[in-house]
A and B are shown apart, each in its own frame.
Chain A
Amino acid sequence: MAYEVVMGLEVHAELATNSKIFCACPVGYGAEANQNVCPACAGMPGLLPVTNKKVVELAIAAGLVTNCKISPVTTFDKKNYYYPDLSNSYQITQLYAPICRDGYVEVRTSQGVKRIGIKQIHMEEDAGKLTHDDTLGVSLVDYNRCSVPLVEIVSKPDFRSAEEVIAYLEKLRSLLRFAGVARARFEEGSIRCDVNLSVREKGDPNFGVRTEIKNMNSLSAIERAIAYETERHIDAIEWGEPLIQETRRWDDAKNASFAMREKENAGDYFYFPDADLAPIEISSQWIEQVRAALPEMPDRKQERYVQEWGIRDKDAALLSQSPSLARIFEQSADLCGNPKEAANWLVGEGLALAKKHAVPIDDLELDPHKLAYLIRAVEDRTLTRVNGKKLFAAIFSDDVDPEAYVKEHNLDAAVDQGALEKLLASIVAENPKSVADYQGGKTKALDFLFGQAMRQLKGAGDPGEIRRILEELLRPQ
């Protein structure tokens, strides 16, 4: 039987603010436990929430880059449940009037371009963090993350494959990062994704029983979780076993999902409006201000790279995937005046090195001035392409000063013609066998001599010129 998997995503992204959503505590990583905590986010009585304006603006921006309608009036509600990571025993979120609705994101997969619907985006506060000490049998509660602002981006059930899910997440991440809305890094938990998944027979208009999978902290974990859960559903359907609607936790080590604690399956959260937070009015002027402040988005960048700079479509897509990479590319292109070469170097060397050294693209740091110097030097033939690669690697790993580095390592291609000819002549003289081989028709012998020359020149000299001189010297007199 042919099955179809149907998925919807709930993506939580921590907003890039200085302070929390309802109190002024700083937001940040690496602080000591409960360092960024005040009476409000420590759940003390008598505190009243006051919303951070930047949170609203970033949520509006999130809505704009995902083609949502922004609500003219938006309100907050309380969601009640007990858990030690929730200091107030309720979470302030938005149920009845979320800030954004009805948007979409276009994703590209092997099947072509697809539009994924966004049901809504709402603002809410994060919970704290628990760590466990199994020898003492205790949990330790840290409220630093409590009340850190989040947007939850709820998609429509539009996904039919893991590939679409991954493409969407990559796209969403990139949009949020470009818009300055969120850091959006899976590895640090600043973006998290829950997958709602059901399976049905192909052609069936009704949805199957839905389960929600949580706790995947990388794209690959999400892929594996989807594969696992899909199979679990299909198995259950085929064996006639009942599936229950529930929340399941992905265990990456065990490569399996498990039904979650009771809290998540309680069903009723006794939502009601938060009377301490009056409605927020969002004027069209305010929306336009946020829109005007948005930087260029990745799709537009890609288009511009191709159309204005003649960059290959594939390279343009790579270069526009991260705000930092796009910035490095655009600045070095401007500085050296040769966008195509800048693209070649960044894609050919930059991304390869990043991959080799396992540096996340978002963390790539390259000084555009240094890259521009390199590109110009190669263009001027004062630096060979081979030595250019050495220099690139040195800039990549040690941020070296290119001029000093070239000098220090004697990479300057401008070798004195006379000296070059003299050196090559001596190499020819020292290798009579190779000369004889060459002249006897084994043209490969030239490569050996060329290699010798390159070794002695340590990369200096124009390879084309060296080959030309060698050929001349080897020509039978």
Chain B
Amino acid sequence: MDTEKFDVYCRFNKFVLEGEEKEELRDLIRWQLSQLAPLAELDCGDTPPMIYLTSLRQVLREDVAEQTVSREEILACAPEEMDGAYVTPRVAD
């Protein structure tokens, strides 16, 4: 992973790192990718991917509305709340 990609992927994850911490993370990821090299080099042909571990088909839920947890309990976890809404700095629409 080159520096530019590293920065882009950190940015996407909303990580802003400086100095030693940034170096440590970059080293760690370089090392991790070097460890993954045999996987990248393996030829799996056209083997289909295995996404799900069971052969289950999805069991669907009936369309019944239900309130499980109160609004107060959910909002009680919020770092900042106003008039029942979560508060963030002003964002664009």
Contact = CB atoms under 8 A, between A and B. Distances in A.
* Chain B binds chain A: yes
Interface of A: 17-19, 24-27, 32-39, 42, 44, 50-56, 75, 82-84, 130-134, 137-143, 215, 249, 261, 266, 270, 273, 275, 277-281
Nearest to A15: B63
Given A138-B88, A278-B52, A279-B57, A18 B67 contact: no
22 contacts: A17-B63, A19-B63, A24-B65, A24-B66, A25-B66, A34-B74, A34-B75, A34-B85, A38-B74, A39-B74, A44-B74, A56-B60, A84-B88, A133-B90, A138-B87, A138-B90, A139-B87, A140-B83, A141-B86, A142-B86, A278-B52, A279-B57
A111 to B, nearest CB: 36
For chain B, which range describes its interface: under 10, 10 to 19, 20 to 34, or 35 or more residues?
Answer: 35 or more
Nearest to B13: A82
Contacts of A38: 67-69, 74
A140 B80 CA distance: 10
A279 B68 contact: no
Given A19-B63, A44-B74, 5 more contacts: A24-B64, A38-B68, A51-B60, A52-B61, A141-B88
A55 B63 CA distance: 8
B16 interface: no
A278 to B, nearest CB: 4
A139 B12 CA distance: 21
A139 B88 contact: yes
A376 B56 CA distance: 61
Interface in B14-57: 14, 51-52, 54, 56-57
B74 A278 contact: no
Contacts of A26: 65-67
B57 A18 contact: no
A19 B66 contact: yes
Contacts of A139: 87-91
B4 interface: no
Contacts of B63: 17-19, 52-55
Interface in B68-82: 68-69, 71, 74-75, 77, 82
Contacts of B88: 84, 138-139, 141
Contacts of A75: 51
Nearest to B14: A82
Please provide the 7 A-B residue pairs with the shortest distance between their CB atoms, ordered closest to farther: A54-B63, A140-B85, A26-B65, A53-B60, A141-B86, A24-B66, A19-B65
A3 B69 CA distance: 57
Contact of A278 (B56, B68, B84): B56
Given A138-B89, A140-B82, A141-B86, A24 B60 contact: no
Nearest to A24: B66
Given A34-B85, A37-B74, A278-B57, A18 B91 contact: no
A33 B92 contact: no
Contacts of A133: 90
B2 interface: no
Contacts of A35: 71, 84
B66 A280 contact: no
Interface string B2-15: 00000000001010
A71 to B, nearest CB: 13
A47 to B, nearest CB: 10
Given A84-B91, A278-B58, A280-B58, A19 B85 contact: no
A252 B91 CA distance: 20
A143 B89 CA distance: 17
Contacts of A42: 74
